[in-house]
Homo-oligomer: A and B are copies of this chain.
Amino acid sequence: MWPLAIFLLTYVFTQSQCTVLEERQELLERELAMMVGSSIKLSDSELKANEIIMNLKNEEIQRGFIQPKYFNLSKHFFEYKEEVKKTKLFQIIQSMPKGAVLHAHDTGLLSPDYVLALTYWDDLWVCFTNDKSNVEFHFSKTTPAAPCATHWKLMKDARNASGDVTKFDADLRKHFSLVIDNPNEVYTDVNAAWKKFQQYFICTGNLFSYKPVYEQYYYDTLLEFRKDQVMYLEIRSTLPSLYDLEGNVFDAVETANTYKRVTEKFMRDYPDFFGAKLIYAPLKLVDKATLKEYIRIALLIQALMPDFLVGFDLVGQEDLGVPLKEFAHELAEVRESLDLYLHAGETNWYGTSSDENLFDAIVLGAKRIGHAFALIKHPLLMEEVKKRQIALEVNVVSNSVLKLVEDPRNHPLANFLSQNMPVVLSSDDPGIWEALPMSHDFYVTFVAVASRHADLKLMKQLALNSLYYSSYPEKHKLVHAFEIRWTKFIDAIVKDKW
């Protein structure tokens, strides 16, 4: 009886009362209510700030909609990254509290200019290959013992001998950045981009792993992230061995300890910062014995620094790495004692081993998934991710620079946002592509990926998500501090000063 009555009522309503435009409006509103951020209620001040922000956003979109050639964000990131900084909207986003950064690799976070400045440190030696296509570094009191394709020179001498320090430094800087003038010609596919990307880590390896540099780089990373309105960080590290001038070599445990100590120092210097935690994330292209050794190290560090190490991951170009499936047994064994934050689905090869790492990450109970770019092709897994509330660490700019998607408007994040998937934005390795710690990723997401209708609510929710899905033990404190900063941010917009 009732179902029939309801059916008839619905029918009568649909057919007679409800015009096409009313039904359209109803669907539109229902769908907007599904979006990330839709449950947020804006205060009066926020509504005013929102109007300002949305006017700026709509101006940008309207111009592009009519004349797409003027839409910066559909071009290569290298073409627009500096240009967008000049816009008022970008500057507002720069000043916006962004919450936490949950997916960032420790030695890819600072700009090539910063890295270049490190090469001015004393006791640095350099080894160029004959064609200068590669370079290695080593800090040492005497000529390094490590092999060199040509011969080791003191950096200072090499620079002075060059005759043209400006050119020498400009050439050297190229090793510290993926940014080039013709990225579409050089980075023609994922492998080509990753080759240069990996070369960065190889060439900077011994530059960074000099203990004093390592400490300074990390301290300055926290500084840069804080400046970009990040309040807390979960940093992934391969925990390389560190060394000093006295011939000491420090193992992964000591590297972790170094991070812990510098974090504590930074928090004393900047008490408004909520600190950082560590995700041990060694390379994934290894055999099982090595994996087991990794796990042993992770458990050891966790036992020693239970408040600092929060979990485990594996890194490297996913298509060419060992599938997670191969390590499923070992990871399953340890998952009760060690939280997993696994990279998975950083690929557009649908149905391959890297694509299907998503299955493993989910069944292994990962707390969050790194990238999950390919998740859009897995309707069942999307449901599982929602059900299990596994956060997706999405890195829009990274995915575009590393050649997964050309135009951010086609990034699967648009879909994730549309249906309130548990998304956090992150920036992966912003230093290597000369992005700000988080501002570019927020800007691109807000203007290019999300709906034209997506407003301040979306950005606030994304920042809040990064707190909710973090491993920070007292989240209410994070959220409380965030709310205070957010209110200040809103006031500044309304008063037109930031």
- Known pairs A27-B359, A189-B68, A356-B28; A20 contacts B364 (CB<8 A): yes
- Known pairs A30-B380, A350-B414, A418-B378; A328 contacts B20 (CB<8 A): yes
Quote the shortest CB–CB distance from A381 to chain B (angstroms): 7
**Complex alpha-carbon distance, A199 and B259, angstroms:** 62
Q: Please, which residues of chain B bring their CB within 8 A of the CB of A348?
A: 407, 409-410
The CB with the most chain B CB atoms within 10 A, among A379, A405, A419, is that of A379
Q: Does A362 contact B (CB under 8 A)?
A: yes
Q: Which of B188, B355, B404 touches A69 (beta carbons < 8 Å)? A: B188
The CB with the most chain B CB atoms within 10 A, among A21, A67, A191, A410, is that of A410
Chain B residue, CB-CB nearest to A20: B332
Contact B328 A21 (CB under 8 A): yes
Q: Does A224 contact B (CB under 8 A)?
A: no
Q: Does A51 contact B (CB under 8 A)?
A: no
Q: Does A23 contact B (CB under 8 A)?
A: yes
**Complex alpha-carbon distance, A377 and B320, angstroms:** 30
**Complex alpha-carbon distance, A495 and B380, angstroms:** 38
Q: Does A74 contact B (CB under 8 A)?
A: yes
Q: Does A376 contact B (CB under 8 A)?
A: yes
Quote the shortest CB–CB distance from A43 to chain B (angstroms): 24
Contact A380 B452 (CB under 8 A): no
User: Scoring A residues 5 to 34 as 1 if CB is less than 8 Å from chain B, else 0, what string do you get?
Assistant: 000000000000001110110011011001
Contact A379 B27 (CB under 8 A): no
Q: Please, which residues of chain B bring their CB within 8 A of the CB of A328?
A: 20-21, 24
Contact B380 A31 (CB under 8 A): yes
Size bracket of the A interface: 35 or more
Q: Which of B19, B24, B189, B415 touches A377 (beta carbons < 8 Å)? A: B415
Q: Please, which residues of chain B bring their CB within 8 A of the CB of A407?
A: 348, 405-406
**Complex alpha-carbon distance, A364 and B27, angstroms:** 13
Chain B residue, CB-CB nearest to A29: B380
Residues of A146-200 at the interface with B, using a CB-CB cut-off of 8 Å, are 184, 188-192
Q: Does A227 contact B (CB under 8 A)?
A: no
Contact A24 B409 (CB under 8 A): no
Q: Please, which residues of chain B bring their CB within 8 A of the CB of A68?
A: 189-191, 319
Q: Please, which residues of chain B bring their CB within 8 A of the CB of A415?
A: 376-377, 379, 415
Q: Does A451 contact B (CB under 8 A)?
A: yes
Chain B residue, CB-CB nearest to A350: B451
Q: Does A349 contact B (CB under 8 A)?
A: yes
**Complex alpha-carbon distance, A415 and B377, angstroms:** 5
Q: Which of B23, B66, B350, B453 touches A409 (beta carbons < 8 Å)? A: B350
New A-B contacts (4) at CB < 8 Å, excluding given A24-B359, A31-B379, A406-B406: A30-B380, A68-B319, A69-B191, A410-B410
26 contacts between A and B (CB under 8 A): A20-B360, A21-B328, A21-B329, A23-B363, A24-B363, A27-B359, A61-B349, A65-B352, A66-B320, A71-B189, A184-B184, A349-B409, A350-B409, A350-B452, A351-B450, A351-B452, A351-B453, A355-B452, A376-B414, A377-B414, A377-B415, A377-B451, A378-B418, A379-B418, A379-B419, A406-B406
Question: Which residues of A are in contact with B by a Cβ distance under 8 Å?
Answer: 19-21, 23-24, 27-28, 30-31, 34, 61, 64-69, 71, 74, 184, 188-192, 319-320, 325, 328-329, 331-332, 348-352, 355-356, 359-360, 362-364, 376-381, 384, 404-407, 409-410, 414-415, 418-419, 449-454
Query: Closest 4 interchain pairs by CB?
Result: A351-B452, A351-B451, A68-B189, A379-B419
